[in-house]
């Protein structure tokens, strides 16, 4: 591995950083308080190429790799985790699934509008009673001539109400049987497809999380992704890449909280000196810096393997598990460094604290990551 960022990666990071500071930072608490999903921000990022980072140029994307993708998410999340989360879900889940598993005809139809964010993407696997137990999902797709009829509800879906294009994984076989799920593309406006309840969340409040409801939703077989029964295997591969993006999201939140804590510790005086001079504070900052660096190295390893076309299930799970737990720890310690001020909404660390927890849950909990890792090391 080369630990030096390429010039392209640095340029992309600077572009994302400048955008976040100019267009996101002034409004992030307003969006957080009102739970507003700022769709216009994603349209603007689409114009910069940030909504189709690894979509090839032939399909209207930026044609970049996972190192660039990782720094984009980090720089956005250093300012606002909500925007970083939605950016990740659009790129790695919906768009990533279509890019990896769709036919050439399907790619030409959907990827250009996703890459520009003319269309916003959603990805539906999770259900109310089948989070990690996806093999027992209740949403079904039944073949009817040249069409499929979908019935059921997906929960906790990023852009469940606003997304224009959804990749939906449905059960097409008996519960808990092998190869019993198939993925489909469902377009907003299709009869029988609607958004349901929007969740009222602790953090990530400007990222829309909602139900997707299917009531005799009829779609053509042309919208099927890959072979019948391949949906779960596709989803696991998509989640490998998705875990890199949540790891990057976690790292961005951790870096944002850490940088705020360092700055505050230099400015806050007690006993006629900055609190950074006190060992109780300086040691917290040392731990933060060390853990952030370790998380970054794990992420870069996963990115390297992904870009090399090598197996990376274990490494992506390690990066996601460790980085997400670091995000929680660093943001917690950052609140402590700020003291009483850290508990107010006048300073950014309380939001980093609230946003960080989702990273240990979304796209596979920390417990599921440990399950994945242990299976890999015990093979």
Quick check: is 36 catalytic? Answer: no
Task: Using alpha carbons, select from 89, 96, 99, 73 the residue that is nearest to residue 122.
Answer: 89
pLDDT, position 97 = 97
- Asked which of 33-42, 102-111, 174-183 is least confident by mean pLDDT, the reply is 174-183
Per-residue pLDDT at 7 exceeds 80: yes
Q: Which residue has the tokens 């939605």?
A: 86
133 vs 183, 199, 368, CA distance in Å? 17, 21, 11
Distance CA 142, CA 145 (A): 10
Report the distance separating Cα 82 and Cα 72, nearest Å.
14
Per-residue pLDDT, 345: 95
Q: CA–CA separation, 284 vs 336, rounded Å?
A: 9
pLDDT (tens digit, 9 = 90+) per residue, 161-184?
A: 999 999 999 999 988 888 899 999
Q: Burial, 223: exposed, middle or buried (Cβ in 10 Å; 0-12, 13-18, 19+)?
A: buried
**What average pLDDT does the segment 27-56 reach?**
96
Mean pLDDT, residues 141-162: 97
Per-residue pLDDT tens digits for 214-260: 999 999 999 999 999 999 999 999 998 899 999 999 999 999 999 99
Closest CA to 351 of 368, 331, 321: 331
**How far is it, in rounded angstroms, from Cα 379 to Cα 261?**
42
Please tell me whether the overall predicted TM-score, pTM, comes out greater than 0.75 for this model.
yes
Task: For the chain, give the mean pLDDT.
Answer: 95
**CA end-to-end span of the chain:** 25
SS3 of the chain: helix, strand, coil, percent, to 5: 55, 15, 25
What is the three-class DSSP state of 99? helix
Catalytic residue among 208, 211, 315, 363: 363
Q: Which residues contact 178 (CB under 8 A, 6 or more apart)?
A: none
pLDDT in tens, 123-149: 999 999 887 777 789 999 999 999 999
Q: Give the pLDDT band of residue 193 (cuts 50, 70, 90).
A: very high
Radius of gyration of the chain (CA): 21
What per-residue confidence (pLDDT) applies to 358?
A: 97
Both tokens of 219, joined, read 């779609």
Predicted local confidence at residue 3, as pLDDT: 76
Looking at residue 130, what is its pLDDT? Answer: 80
What is the length of the chain? 379
Q: Which residue's entry shows tokens 């640095």?
A: 10
Residue 109 token pair: 């139809």
Instruction: Name 291's Cβ contacts closer than 8 Å, sequence gap at least 6.
Output: 254, 326, 329, 330
Of 129, 148, 131, nearest to 214 by C-alpha is 148
């Amino acid at each position: 591995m080369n630990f030096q960022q390429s010039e392209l990666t640095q340029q992309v990071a600077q572009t994302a950083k400048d955008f976040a500071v100019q267009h996101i930072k002034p409004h992030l608490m307003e969006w957080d308080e009102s739970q507003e999903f700022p769709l216009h921000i994603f349209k603007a990022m689409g114009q910069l190429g940030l909504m189709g980072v690894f979509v090839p140029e032939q399909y209207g994307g930026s044609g970049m790799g996972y190192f660039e993708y990782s720094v984009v998410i980090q720089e956005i999340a250093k300012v606002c985790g909500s925007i970083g989360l939605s950016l990740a879900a659009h790129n790695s889940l919906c768009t990533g699934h279509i890019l990896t598993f769709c036919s050439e005809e399907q790619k030409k139809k959907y990827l250009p509008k996703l890459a520009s964010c003319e269309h916003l993407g959603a990805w539906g696997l999770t259900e109310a009673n089948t989070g990690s137990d996806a093999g027992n999902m209740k949403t079904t797709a039944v073949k009817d001539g040249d069409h499929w009829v979908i019935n059921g509800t997906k929960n906790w879906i990023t852009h469940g109400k606003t997304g224009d294009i959804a990749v939906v994984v449905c059960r097409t076989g008996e519960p808990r049987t092998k190869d019993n799920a198939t993925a489909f593309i469902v377009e907003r406006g299709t009869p029988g497809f609607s958004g349901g309840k929007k969740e009222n969340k602790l953090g990530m409040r400007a990222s829309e999380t909602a139900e997707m409801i299917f009531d005799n939703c009829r779609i053509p077989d042309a919208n099927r992704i890959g072979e019948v029964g391949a949906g779960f295997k596709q989803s696991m591969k998509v989640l490998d890449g998705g875990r890199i993006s949540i790891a990057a999201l976690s790292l961005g939140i951790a870096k944002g909280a850490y940088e705020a804590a360092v700055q505050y510790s230099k400015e806050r005086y007690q006993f006629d000196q900055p609190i950074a001079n006190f060992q109780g504070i300086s040691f917290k900052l040392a731990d933060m810096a060390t853990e952030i660096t370790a998380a970054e190295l794990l992420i870069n390893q996963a990115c390297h393997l992904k870009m090399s076309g090598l197996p990376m299930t274990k490494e992506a799970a390690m990066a996601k598990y460790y980085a997400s737990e670091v995000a929680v720890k660093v943001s917690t310690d950052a609140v402590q460094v700020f003291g009483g001020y850290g508990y107010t909404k006048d300073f950014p660390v309380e939001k980093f604290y609230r946003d960080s927890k989702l990273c240990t849950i979304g796209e596979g909990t920390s417990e599921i990551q440990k399950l994945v890792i242990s299976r890999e090391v015990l093979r």
